[in-house]
Structure 1
Amino acid sequence: MSTLDTTSLKLPKENLEAEDFLPLLGTDYIELYVGNAKQAAHYYMAAWGFQPVAYAGLETGLKDRVSYVVQQDKIRLMLTSPLRPGGEINKHIDSHGDGVKSIALWVDDATKSYEETVKRGAESYHAPIQKEDKEGAVVLSGIHTYGETVHIFVERKNYKGVFMPGFRPWNPHYRPSDVGLKYVDHMVGNVGWNEMNKWCEFYAKVMGFAQLVSFDDKDISTEYTALMSKVMSNGNGRIKFPINEPADGRKKSQIEEYIEFYNGAGVQHMALATDNIIETVAALRDRGVEFLTVPSSYYEDLLDRVGEIDEDLLPLKELGILVDRDDEGYLLQIFTKPILDRPTMFIEIIQRKGAKSFGKGNFKALFEAIEREQESRGTL
């Protein structure tokens, strides 16, 4: 299993308009507040091929919570549950259900990252703190973003341990094979009416991001629903945050449904990259992961729309994988149904063959598929 490189990097700049003063080196981990961390960890291992890494709880001196850390290549998830009634975690779960609390960003200097963002207007989540054990030290700081989501800046260049101080290695007998997931491609946030520009400006002003692309209700609409989206990226392109807001339509859009059931703004989906989407999706499907489906007619003129591709059309059609092309290449993508009881968070699997875009040509087919699911839930 690969681990995150903990050395400082001078990364080439991809998004030339980004000020990129932090800078960010990558996604360190994603923390989800969940009702039962032990069972959630088993789900991500059994269904998604994540490997057990670290644990913190009563046995490590924590009295109020328990956390399991699982990893697949460069993707790390921390699953956290409360151990007692009351408190922040219970309140979060009661309001939102299971969901992403923290998007932790790997930085060279967590203190500088905190100071730079707070002086530019970020609301502090917590000031820099240093955690130490015999393996070294990790510095953490945090700021608020949309809804109750936070960004944690993680500085781990002086740490050689399994995850961070306060955790111990977690070595259960059960270690399922991975499914070929590599890294976090992007993380999508849903915000309320007329809030998209506010949060895009936040990422530009506070974190030095720049806009990569925008989509309006003409790009992302069906007969019934519409939404607006802008994609913000840091300078090296390792962190990409599309921000969605609802737009006027005849019926309730997926963004409105999300905000209703999540009770506010939050992370809508994680897009996880693979080098072989056919193998990855086939393995996930065999393990019980359910995906949105599009009509077979989508594939009838696919090659006319996107040109020649390396993959055979038959397995793409059989698995329901979508294809889109931009000026730099093409991409393949597919979206799960909501992976939680509430119709909130889902996961995207994406394979890029040169393309830097986000599948604009698939929006209509995708959102019609989402509408079919909404209709079945009675929330369209």
Structure 2
Amino acid sequence: MAGFACVHHIEIGAVDGAGTVDVLRDRFTFTLQATRFTPLADQWLLAKNNTRFLITSLKCSDKEKLQKDPYVINWASYVESGDKLPTRDSAFNIAFQVKDLDTSLRRLNNNGAVLSKPVQTEHDANGSVRAVTVKSCVGDMHHTLIEKGEYSGCFLPGFTELEPEDSPKPPASDIQYPLNSVMEAFDHVALCVEMNTSMEIIGWYERCFGMKRFLINADEEDDQGLILSTNDVGLRLRAMEYWKCAEVGLVTEEESAGSECTVSRLSMVIGEGLPPLPGSTEENQVVAWMRHHGGPGIQHVAISTSDIKGTVTNLKQAGVEFAVPPPPAYYTEVGRLNDIIQAGEDVDLLRRHGILIDTEADGIHYVSEGDKKEEAQRKDSYLLQIFTKPMLTTDPFFMEFIQREGASGFGSGNVAALYRSVQDYIVNK
């Protein structure tokens, strides 16, 4: 069985579940691997290498019935009163695999976390799985913690594994690169939150999940975060990650079999709007995103790739639309030409696909222990990034693809480019 990072899967709630499955399968080239259909909801598991999305479409909103189901959550219940079906899509559940669910549960209980679902044990012919779901302090977000033990099924008990021929793939003639070689694992998730709440959110995740804040790159100030601005509006970014996952109970499936942890890490980047300048009428992109989403939540998910050019080529051929590329000057001497040449990348290919490069993404990761600070800084490295347009029918959620060449953080140039691109979309749409 393939090993997965500490992220077991990410769940997307979809009003039109079958349509969302078609988008992920036919455009993003994911494989449909398992399904679960009940009177309460239809669920589909789509995967590619170490990246798994669970699509859930509710058919019943009865709270008591949903509470008894081990896997189904009404993601809209935090904003809509009564028993109502969701009217908006949302990427709302980041599920983690843990090695000791009881230890994780004690930590959650000791810090006053609210459980969306109690601890439940599910069985099938492949073994048993224990799980609990906790409500995040951010908007409609939840986290399911999964202890799999010796479970040998493809996903979770109750899901029906599909044969390969049950999951159509794009015609081979349309694909220039091997599908399984270009998307690898979840790299990070980005959240949009209300103004002046990011430090409170980081504190909650530190207490409940053992996460640690890290500086996004060398430009970030410890107390202020990374500040970006354009025209009359601005954005503050702070980030956190699961640090030394084995110490907080998060493991890969390979670790649970006794091998060394190498990829058990997830970064979460938090964006909050800054107060507008006096007299400004321009809407901040974070505020606009939350208005469309219905509150704070997951803005985008980033997937790592070892070949971003191949990934983008395949996805464009399959119909994926990407964000507006940077202006032509980005790929000249007044832009990032020298960085591209120094990195040994093909200038024409990056320009053709609108791929961004950043050499500032060294990242300063640390754990504070009194006056001590543990730092690991990488230089002479770079990363490549590209962002899709929103991919859900009724939500502004989008995806990012990222290729890291030694860079562990996030380059301020690329973050600023994304910020300005999204802001321009909001102002001129």
TM-score by length of 2: 0.77
Structure 2 CA distance for partners of 1:241 and 1:218, relative to 1, 3 Å: closer
For the 8 Å contact 1:104–1:151, the answer to whether it is kept is yes
Aligned with 2:141 (options 127, 149, 173): 149
* d(CA) in 2 for partners of 1:124, 1:299: 49
What does 1:196-207 align with in structure 2 at a 5 Å threshold?
A: 196-207=198-209
For the 8 Å contact 1:179–1:283, the answer to whether it is kept is no
Q: Are 1:299 and 2:331 an aligned pair?
A: yes
- Aligned-residue CA RMSD (Å): 2.2
For the 8 Å contact 1:219–1:363, the answer to whether it is kept is no
* d(CA) in 1 for partners of 2:25, 2:58: 21
In structure 2, the residue matched to 1:140 is 131
* d(CA) in 1 for partners of 2:2, 2:153: 11
* d(CA) in 2 for partners of 1:332, 1:173: 31
In structure 1, the residue matched to 2:11 is 31
What does 1:48-197 align with in structure 2 at a 5 Å threshold?
A: 48-57=28-37, 62-84=38-60, 89=74, 91=76, 97-145=88-136, 146-171=138-163, 172-176=166-170, 177-178=179-180, 180-197=182-199
Structure 2 CA distance for partners of 1:307 and 1:196, relative to 1, 3 Å: farther
Q: Which sits farther off after the overlay, 305-314 or 253-262?
A: 305-314
Identity of aligned residues (%): 26
For the 8 Å contact 2:340–2:346, the answer to whether it is kept is no
Matching residue's letter, 1:168: T
For the 8 Å contact 1:81–1:89, the answer to whether it is kept is no
In structure 1, the residue matched to 2:227 is 219
* d(CA) in 2 for partners of 1:98, 1:361: 31
In structure 2, the residue matched to 1:240 is 267
For the 8 Å contact 1:219–1:360, the answer to whether it is kept is no
For the 8 Å contact 1:212–1:231, the answer to whether it is kept is yes
For the 8 Å contact 1:220–1:227, the answer to whether it is kept is yes
* d(CA) in 1 for partners of 2:414, 2:350: 14
For the 8 Å contact 1:129–1:139, the answer to whether it is kept is yes
For the 8 Å contact 2:118–2:132, the answer to whether it is kept is yes
For the 8 Å contact 2:33–2:167, the answer to whether it is kept is no
* d(CA) in 2 for partners of 1:181, 1:336: 15
Q: 5+ residue gaps in structure 1?
A: 6-24
1:56-77 CA distance string (max 9 Å, x none): 00xxxx2110100010000110
Give the secondary structure class of the aligned counterpart of 1:162: coil
* d(CA) in 1 for partners of 2:191, 2:340: 28
What does 1:185-334 align with in structure 2 at a 5 Å threshold?
A: 185-213=187-215, 215=220, 219-236=227-244, 238-249=265-276, 250=280, 251-292=282-323, 293-300=325-332, 301-304=335-338, 308-326=342-360, 327=362, 328=378, 329-334=381-386
* d(CA) in 2 for partners of 1:178, 1:222: 39
Q: 5+ residue gaps in structure 2?
A: 64-72, 78-83, 171-178, 245-263, 363-377
For the 8 Å contact 2:13–2:89, the answer to whether it is kept is yes
How far 1:119 moved relative to its partner? 1.0
Aligned residues between the structures: 353
1:69-119 CA distance string (max 9 Å, x none): 010000110001012466563845966721112100011122321222221
1:1-40 CA distance string (max 9 Å, x none): x7335xxxxxxxxxxxxxxxxxxx5100011110122221
Structure 2 CA distance for partners of 1:129 and 1:90, relative to 1, 3 Å: closer
How far 1:366 moved relative to its partner? 2.2
* d(CA) in 1 for partners of 2:87, 2:342: 43
How far 1:341 moved relative to its partner? 3.6
Matching residue's letter, 2:328: S
For the 8 Å contact 2:7–2:266, the answer to whether it is kept is yes
Q: Are 1:356 and 2:408 an aligned pair?
A: yes
Structure 2 CA distance for partners of 1:173 and 1:240, relative to 1, 3 Å: closer
1:183-221 CA distance string (max 9 Å, x none): 000011111121111101111122111111155587311
Give the secondary structure class of the aligned counterpart of 1:338: coil
For the 8 Å contact 2:32–2:167, the answer to whether it is kept is no
Structure 2 CA distance for partners of 1:217 and 1:372, relative to 1, 3 Å: farther
Q: Which sits farther off after the overlay, 79-88 or 103-112?
A: 79-88
1:277-316 CA distance string (max 9 Å, x none): 0110111111111111211111113134577112111110
* d(CA) in 2 for partners of 1:346, 1:320: 16
Structure 2 CA distance for partners of 1:200 and 1:307, relative to 1, 3 Å: farther
Q: Which sits farther off after the overlay, 268-277 or 156-165?
A: 156-165
* d(CA) in 2 for partners of 1:313, 1:306: 6
For the 8 Å contact 1:139–1:155, the answer to whether it is kept is yes
* d(CA) in 2 for partners of 1:256, 1:149: 17
For the 8 Å contact 1:114–1:143, the answer to whether it is kept is no
TM-score by length of 1: 0.87
Structure 2 CA distance for partners of 1:120 and 1:217, relative to 1, 3 Å: closer
For the 8 Å contact 1:191–1:243, the answer to whether it is kept is yes
Structure 2 CA distance for partners of 1:341 and 1:253, relative to 1, 3 Å: farther
For the 8 Å contact 1:111–1:141, the answer to whether it is kept is no
